[in-house]
Structure 1
Amino acid sequence: MFKRLAILFAALPMTAGAAGLSDVAATLRATSTMTADFTQTAPDGRVARGRMIIARPGKIRFDYENKKLLIVSDGSRLSMIDYDVAQVSQWPVKSTPLGVLLDPDKDLSRVAKVVGETPGALRIEARDSKHPEYGAITMTFLKQPGGLALTGWTSLDAQNMRTEVILTNVRSNVAVGGENFKFRDPRVRTPGRAG
């Protein structure tokens, strides 16, 4: 199921200076909410688009265009809801690559490293060596005057299936309502309704 997960993060403010893990960690801690549009390329080459909302710690929502699919975390459980087949799959959010990104207290020095750096970009890979089944995420940041902007990432699941994401229209530290992290369970029938 992680093949279909898109791990999204957005442009984040950052203080000037050398880019590194401590700067990325400080930037993530300083970001409480964000929204962005995403374009996701699945391992089989299929492209999907949608909208993402994050409220840290632990909450995230991916709404897909033209699909009856929703991925949402309430802060503890990550749920993938496929409304076409009335199926819900769930995992502890900390057991997914999102766990690294959604926990503002996560010590990146224990799970991440710089894997590439040029004058204009920085790539960070996060992987929990004690739990390879959680997968990995490699985030690409553009270096800009006054900070870094996370423009996308590649996630790799335990079966080496790769998903790529590009972010646009990013807004950080905006008002986000708690109702965004709930979902209608397709397995529950509404009383009095036929079908």
Structure 2
Amino acid sequence: MFARPLVLSLALSAPALVSAAAPAPANELAQVQQHLQAVNSMVAGFAQTDRNGRTLTGTMTLKRPGKIRFQYQKGVPQLIVADGRSLYFIDYQVRQVERWPIGNSPLAVLLNPKKDIASFAKVIPTGSDQVVSVEVYDAKHPEYGRITLIFQKNASAPAGLMLQGWVALDSQNNRTSIRLSNQQFNTNVSDGTFRWNDPRRQGPR
């Protein structure tokens, strides 16, 4: 009940990047799958808004398969990073680290280019022929949560789609929305980008 307004707000605020005369694909879900398979890496600015309305900004770096990093703005002592095997949330202020298998996160759909989303994804109407919204939810694993991806049609982007952001809802109904900006696809990204310092090894304060 909460995700739809956020989806629509992202869709309505996205700029028109393609003329209305552009032909619509026969299968938008297949187009999304093609986009996911065509993206090897991506760097973008992000604005993250949580269920309490707090917004943090930073830089997102993605490299498939399995790697992503959310580097928050200066002064935020937190980091989210996936190293190809696990997804970590690191809080440097309290020196805590939480870990999940990558496949147990809604972000798995972004991190695995071989993942076939056809059996557990559906297109959500947006009211705009320039916006494609896809909800991904595996009913066999509701504990993984769900994610709604929002794309803007753009002929210069991979498979004709520009990822604008997403809304993630975890199994406890905690909602997080991500809005992307300045997206750059398939640039050279070093594996070292996804290394991180473990605060638990720094000893007592």
CA distance in 2, matches of 1:19, 1:39: 30
> Shift of the alpha carbon at 1:144?
2.9
Structure-2 residue corresponding to 1:167 = 180
CA distance in 1, matches of 2:120, 2:27: 17
Structure-1 residue corresponding to 2:189 = 176
Deviations 1:133-167 (A, max 9, x none): 11111011112345221111111111112111110
Structure-2 residue corresponding to 1:96 = 105
TM-score, normalised to structure 2, is 0.82
Structure-2 residue corresponding to 1:80 = 89
Q: Residue 133 of structure 2: which of 123, 128, 133 is its match? A: 123
Shifted more, 19-28 versus 98-107: the winner is: 19-28
Structure-2 residue corresponding to 1:68 = 77
CA distance in 2, matches of 1:145, 1:75: 30
> Shift of the alpha carbon at 1:19?
5.0
> Shift of the alpha carbon at 1:97?
0.5
Structure-2 residue corresponding to 1:5 = none
> Shift of the alpha carbon at 1:105?
0.8
Work out the number of aligned pairs and report it: 178
* Structure 1 letter corresponding to 2:152: L
Deviations 1:73-93 (A, max 9, x none): 011100100000000000001
Structure-2 residue corresponding to 1:17 = 25
SS in 1 for 2:133: strand
Structure-2 residue corresponding to 1:32 = 40
Shifted more, 80-89 versus 161-170: the winner is: 161-170
Shifted more, 59-68 versus 111-120: the winner is: 111-120
Query: Which is richer in helix?
Result: 2
* Structure 1 letter corresponding to 2:40: S
SS in 2 for 1:174: coil
- The structure 1 segments of at least 4 consecutive aligned residues displaced by more than 6 Å after TM superposition are none
List gaps (5 residues or longer) in structure 2: 1-22
TM-score, normalised to structure 1, is 0.86
CA distance in 1, matches of 2:155, 2:72: 32
8 Å contact kept, 1:39–1:50: yes
> Shift of the alpha carbon at 1:16?
7.6
8 Å contact kept, 1:16–1:145: no
Deviations 1:15-62 (A, max 9, x none): 983451111111111110110000011001101000010110010000
> Shift of the alpha carbon at 1:114?
0.4
Shifted more, 118-127 versus 33-42: the winner is: 118-127
Root mean square deviation of aligned Cα: 1.7
Query: Which is richer in strand?
Result: 1
Q: Residue 137 of structure 1: which of 147, 154, 157 is its match? A: 147
Q: Percent identity among equivalent residues? A: 44
Structure-2 residue corresponding to 1:189 = 202
* Structure 2 letter corresponding to 1:96: S
